[in-house]
Structure 1
């Protein structure tokens, strides 16, 4: 877990360095190039905000002895990001400051409205991305659920086939048992018949010997 948070911290450090670079470029460029740096800075701010949210989730799973240390770090990262956001806003409106002084409060009001619109747009963009993320998670959950249902269906079919095989085996065993019982009965009958024949032969032999002795007498 600690390794993952350290990776988040490295990503955050890289993002803040890129944000600082773009804020500097916003102050020193004009026109289309300035707009490119403004959009890039906004994108980086969104990525940094989401990264801090992920970091907070990971910190909650840490052991208690490490949690306080990383909580303090995350708070300092948030404070740093808030300061960079203020610097970014000043950089975006700084180029028009001289014009504002010449035109008066109306320009300030217009700039305030424009800034509020920018803030609202940023919030909507973040919300849209979170909704997209939630939708992707929902689709993944549905796919996992479908896969589980398919696995359960396959397992049910396997169980049914196994049950049918067991029933067939039981039927075959029953038939084999009946055949064996019939064979045993026939064997017993044959043995009894053999015994009767033997007894008859013994009686015949005895009678023959008896009559032969009687004649000689």
Structure 2
């Protein structure tokens, strides 16, 4: 829910309740006192209309699911404002004719105030119901955001694990390369050792033959 809208809404509810009190008080006044009250009511109605316009602009700038809830509230507030305007018109017309004013105060005004009170009760009930709907929307949105954050966290963990596996794979690949190189070195060393053994064996055989030839030569003399 928009905090800006809630601020305008709070101002409007306070202003509407104050207008109702002033209308009730103005119905029992005469002369300049009544004119002063009528001026206050007119200023209050103008201010209420300005707040309605601000709430309407703010509601239409929000997401569709929240906008629908707030526009439903606005319809109730606009109906309440129209009732205040009607009461203002009746008070102004009553101010022109004292006898008509008395009749208005005795019958019409009482009925209007009763209707306004009933309308305001319905408005409060609707506002409470819409607030509950807004709270449910907020809870659903919070749950959705928490689920999204959990999903992002899981994806981040999976990405981290994938990087670890890739690093381990690279490490194993490096070990395999080192083992292959070591095998080649050992194979070459083994070949050299075998070659050296053959050379040494050949040298030993040659030396033995030479020594045998020398001994034979000496013994034959």
> In the alignment, which of 165, 175, 182 is matched to residue 160 of structure 1?
165
Distance 1:193 1:209, change over 3 A: same
1:36 to 49, 61, 66: 49
| Gap change, CA 1:33 and 1:211, over 3 Å in 2 | same
Identify if the C-alpha distance between structure 1 residues 127 and 112 changes in structure 2 by more than 3 Å, giving closer, same or farther. same
Shift of 1:158: 1.8
Give ranges in structure 1 of 5+ residues lacking alignment: 1-14, 43-91
Unaligned stretches of 5+ residues in structure 2 = 1-6, 23-39, 56-83, 95-100
Partner of 2:218: 213
**Distance in 2 between residues matched to 1:33 and 1:153, nearest whole Å:** 59
Cα separation, 2, equivalents of 1:124 and 1:36:
23
Deviations 1:189-212 (A, max 9, x none): 123222212211221231232234
- In structure 1, what is the equivalent of residue 72 of structure 2? none
**Could you tell me which residue of structure 2 aligns to residue 111 of structure 1?**
116
Match in the other structure for 1:127:
132
Identify the residue that residue 198 of structure 2 maps to in structure 1. 193
Q: TM-score, normalised by structure 1?
A: 0.51
Give 1:62-73 correspondences, 5 Å limit: none
Bigger Rg, which one: 2
Instruction: Indicate yes or no: 2:186 matched with 1:173.
Output: no
Residues 176, 168 of structure 1: CA spacing in aligned structure 2 closer, same or farther, 3 A cutoff?
same
Which residue of structure 1 aligns with residue 106 of structure 2? 102
Give the Cα–Cα distance (whole angstroms) in 1 for the partners of residues 131 and 178 of structure 2.
69
Q: What CA deviation, in whole Å up to 9, does each residue of 1:18-50 have, x standing for no partner? A: 959x6498452338515337759x9xxxxxxxx
The equivalent residue for 1:148 is 153
Distance in 2 between residues matched to 1:133 and 1:176, nearest whole Å: 64
Cα distance in structure 2, aligned partners of 1:178 and 1:110: 100
Instruction: Report the secondary structure of 1:29's partner residue.
Output: helix
Aligned counterparts of 1:207 and 1:106: Cα–Cα separation in 2: 149
* Matching of residue 203 in structure 1 with residue 216 in structure 2: no
The alignment's TM-score, normalised by the length of structure 2, stands at: 0.50
Q: Which runs of 4+ in 1 moved over 6 A?
A: 94-100
Residues 126/19 of structure 1: CA separation in 2 closer, same or farther (3 Å cut): same
